[in-house]
Structure 1
């Protein structure tokens, strides 16, 4: 028996486990291609667009379920060494960094539109040569009233309630993490249930807020720069909340099945990092979108 085989047989991972060849990456690429192609057809009015986009998203969920299932089986089978754990941590770190850059671009667009281009277009020369009677206020209805009148969404009360929900979920998640590290699994499960419920409660409140903004405030994606940036920022954040709450739900099921130990639980930690990142982004949105 080789040294690697002896190590695997003894329940310890080899020095560095290399997984076998997988079809998941190419399947995931095809699903993303179908999703983006369907979205492009959808916004251009093609009937097949919505169906192709939805099919791509559903297929991606199937691919992720199978892919992460393989990773979980490798972890629970003792195949992951300390070096694999470090690889996961660095991968999650760079992934969250990429998300920081993603949202930074939208926050930068909000700042530039509100504090640079809008005041510049209200100067005398711009009103004379470009947009007569343009009001350099934020939010505005565009040049010469080209945007239908709308009302902006203030911080009270739904955004403030959502802030309380997310901050509380971060607290309950931290309590669950400490309980897991102290080997109090039932306590960790209880607080994870609370975290997941708070996360999906946020999603429900945001859906109600969108309905209110669309039907009663006439705030739509076509409501000039303000409407586009509002829905892009809050919409992408809402998508990340759904993704994060789904990740935490999977972690909850794994906790119930007895996965994770006080010494080895990066799956839990990685989801927790992501959720705290989502919390921080929302605080930025709450301040710069709803208050300013």
Structure 2
């Protein structure tokens, strides 16, 4: 079935199957080029940096074309209730994979703090491996192998960022309720405020990174604490950028008149993703900054 097969009564087909598309293979090749270039770049090999940049640009172009086609399919009425269910299940499983992704790094942080650090300080390991190792968190390795640094506390930027994200979750929920009540103006206003709060969070985190690097001497190679701090907060920041970008696209679509009170899964899927980002940050805020 191709894009022209729509029932005579104007309803969407039972299950719309799009025609052959070059977007999946283009996106896959872009990702391959991006990651291969990144591997060469971190090893100071030419032309890694340029391969990475070209891969990123190609990825964004591929996704722009692919998502644009999906939007046109939706606006032409090709997505039936069955397709809507498929979208919902796909988004749910995607978020589940993201939960597992962050769980791995939270688990690594817990293992380093609660298992590895005490274990390396017992008498057997002190005698055989690292004499004088002290079981404290964060640690600087045996004999101060890691250059001394200071940790990032919860005050004040992390707490401000927590307030920003929690507020953005509230404004997004208000926007959703306004859309369901067919109050498009209110939905646009609260969604725009959500986008502003999201990008403000990113700006605050960028400032926090500069402060940590320049004033606290906290770097990616500052032992297990430094590496996990930047991996966890960095990947979360990347997810915030992605989520805020998605919400920006949803905002532009809403301004153009897309979505109805009954059919707006693109909005709901973006909202699910944003609330997931909020929950992950709460875990980071409590486990990384407070303890």
Q: Which residue of 2 aligns with 1:224?
A: 223
Q: Which residue of 1 aligns with 2:97?
A: 98
Q: Is the 8 A contact 1:196 1:249 kept in 2?
A: yes
In structure 2, the CA distance between the partners of 1:177 and 1:134, relative to structure 1 (3 Å rule), is same
Superimposed CA distance per residue, residues 13-72 of structure 1 (whole angstroms, 9 cap, x where no aligned partner):
011110001100100110110111011011111242122112111111111110000000
Partners of 1:274 and 1:147 in 2: how far apart?
A: 37
Partners of 1:5 and 1:20 in 2: how far apart?
A: 10
For structure 2, the 5+ residue unaligned runs are none
Q: Which moved more, 1:91-100 or 1:133-142?
A: 133-142
Superimposed CA distance per residue, residues 157-191 of structure 1 (whole angstroms, 9 cap, x where no aligned partner):
00000000000000000000000000000100000
Superimposed CA distance per residue, residues 178-206 of structure 1 (whole angstroms, 9 cap, x where no aligned partner):
00000000100000110000000000000
Partners of 1:282 and 1:116 in 2: how far apart?
A: 24
Superimposed CA distance per residue, residues 105-147 of structure 1 (whole angstroms, 9 cap, x where no aligned partner):
0000000001100011011111110011111110011122111
**After the TM superposition, which residues 60-79 of structure 1 pair with which residues of structure 2 at under 5 Å, given as runs?**
60-79=59-78
TM-score (norm 1): 0.97
Give aligned pairs, total: 289
Q: Is the 8 A contact 1:166 1:202 kept in 2?
A: yes
Is it true that 1:201 corresponds to 2:194 in the alignment?
Answer: no
Q: Which moved more, 1:38-47 or 1:8-17?
A: 8-17
Partners of 2:44 and 2:25 in 1: how far apart?
A: 29
In structure 2, the CA distance between the partners of 1:89 and 1:133, relative to structure 1 (3 Å rule), is same
Q: SS of the counterpart of 1:144? A: coil
Moved over 2 A (4+): 4-11
Q: SS of the counterpart of 1:46? A: coil
Q: Is the 8 A contact 1:8 1:78 kept in 2?
A: no
Q: Is the 8 A contact 2:6 2:78 kept in 1?
A: no
Q: Which residue of 2 aligns with 1:210?
A: 209
Partners of 2:4 and 2:75 in 1: how far apart?
A: 17
Q: Which residue of 2 aligns with 1:141?
A: 140
Partners of 2:43 and 2:289 in 1: how far apart?
A: 31
Q: SS of the counterpart of 2:56? A: helix
Is it true that 1:256 corresponds to 2:237 in the alignment?
Answer: no
Partners of 2:148 and 2:4 in 1: how far apart?
A: 71
Q: Which moved more, 1:83-92 or 1:51-60?
A: 51-60
Q: Which moved more, 1:140-149 or 1:89-98?
A: 140-149
| C-alpha RMSD of the superposition | 1.2
Partners of 1:7 and 1:242 in 2: how far apart?
A: 37
Q: Which residue of 2 aligns with 1:130?
A: 129
